[in-house]
Structure formats: structure tokens, C-alpha cells
Amino acid sequence: MQAFTNLKSKVVPLDRANVDTDAILPKQFLMIIERTGFGQHLFDEWRYLDHGQPYQDCSQRPLNLSFPLNQPRYEGAGILLTRDNFGCGSSREHAPWALLDWGIRAIIAPSFAEIFYGNCFKNGILPIILDATTIDSLFAAVEDRPHHQLEIDLEQQTITDERRERIAFDLDPFRKHCLLNGLDEVGMTLLQSDLIQAFENERMALEPWLFGRI
């Protein structure tokens, strides 16, 4: 998993509450067996004017030009700004895969669905919870200033805008540690590989009959 330390990026606004995972990545794309390539289908039913299908060439599809992800001012944005209860609905991990594949490394919202929130940390995305008033001010800044950027410092747990004003955010220390070091469950397990191997060696010596066919 890619570590998250600092991010300075444009912000793409999605001024909608209760965005569910089927909107983030519609169900038909769960048929894709690879873990990559989901970015072109992120918010598929909102970004395009036709109905998308797995493995479809999206370069020729008609775009909904009013949708933020299709607007040039937000091209290359790595921060998504949105509203309450983002990521509700089903628990599909494909939703953060699609966000990450498109280029989103951080999401700022007043609240998240619990499972989606946890899945973000497992995939190297930083979900930041801020109060609704602060979210409103960030939406206003993004609307007023084209190519508005924010800088996120995970170690300091701060967001800094272009006027050098800082916003602090809270985060669970363990999840922060994992993001800073690029650790998911597999990575954390591999940190204990020496202890795991020592345990297996000891068990093999004590119960060799269990390993006769290995």
C-alpha cells in the first residue's frame, strides 16, 4: 500500500450527501476481475450520458459536462470534498479502488459510512472528518478560486489553504501510523514474518508428522 504523508493538490467538489458505493462504482463493474482500471468508471452514471459496461473503452463515451470530474478546472485533483454520509450503502471495497485509481488520495466530509471509512485506510486513502461549517467554507473557497489547492500534512494533522490558514483534524493514532507507513493488514502481518517463521519451525520440530507431505 502506498504511504500517505503530505499531499498538496487541487480539490474537486461533489456537493451531494448520502453518496452510496453504487454511485461511486456501479454494480456492473464488480465483474472486473483485476484490481486496477476502475478509475475510468468512477461515478460512471453521473460522469457519462450513456450506460457503461465492464471493459468498455470510455474515451469515446458522451460526457456529462456539468459533472465536476469532467470539468477542466478540477483535472488532476487528488482531494475530494463532499457532504454527509459519504460511502453509504454496500460494503464493496471496489469503491475506494475506483477513487484511488482516478487519483483521489484524500476525502474531506462531515461524516462517512463506517465500513467505507475503514476501507479507505486499507487502500491508502485519507478520509478527513470536519464540521459542517468548515466544509461549507471549503466549498465556497473552491467555487470562488479556480484551481484552488489544499495541503494536507498527515503527521501534523493539518490542512493548509492557499492563504496559509490551517485547519486541524482528528484521527485515530493507529490508523495514522498505518497510513504514514503504508501498512495494510498484509503489510502489518509481514512485519512479523520472523516470528511467524520461528513459530512454524518450532511446531515442525514438535509435530513433524503434520508436515510429512510438505
pTM metric for this prediction: 0.89
What is the tens place of the pLDDT at every residue in 97-144?
999 999 999 999 999 999 999 999 999 999 999 999 999 999 999 999
- Overall average pLDDT of the 181-210 stretch: 79
Q: Is the pLDDT of residue 18 over 90?
A: yes
Report strand pairing: 106-109 vs 79-81.
parallel
Per the DSSP assignment, residues forming a β-bridge with 98 are none
Is the C-alpha dihedral spanning 2, 172, 94, 25 positive or negative? negative
Domain-by-domain residue ranges, the chain? Answer: 6-183, 184-214
What mean pLDDT do residues 8-28 have?
97
The DSSP letter of residue 46 is: H
CATH code at 6-183: 3.20.19.10
Mean pLDDT over residues 67-86, rounded? 96
* Residue 213: band (very low, low, confident or very high) from pLDDT cuts 50, 70, 90: low
Measure the N-to-C terminal CA separation of the chain; round to a whole number of Å: 31
Q: Taking all residues of the chain, what is their mean pLDDT, rounded to a whole number?
A: 92
Which is it for strands 149-153 and 126-129: parallel, antiparallel or unpaired?
unpaired
Distance between CA atoms of residues 69 and 162, nearest Å: 22
Mean pLDDT value of segment 144-154: 93
3-class secondary structure, 115: helix
Instruction: Identify which of 117, 10, 129, 133 has the alpha carbon closest to the alpha carbon of residue 74.
Output: 10
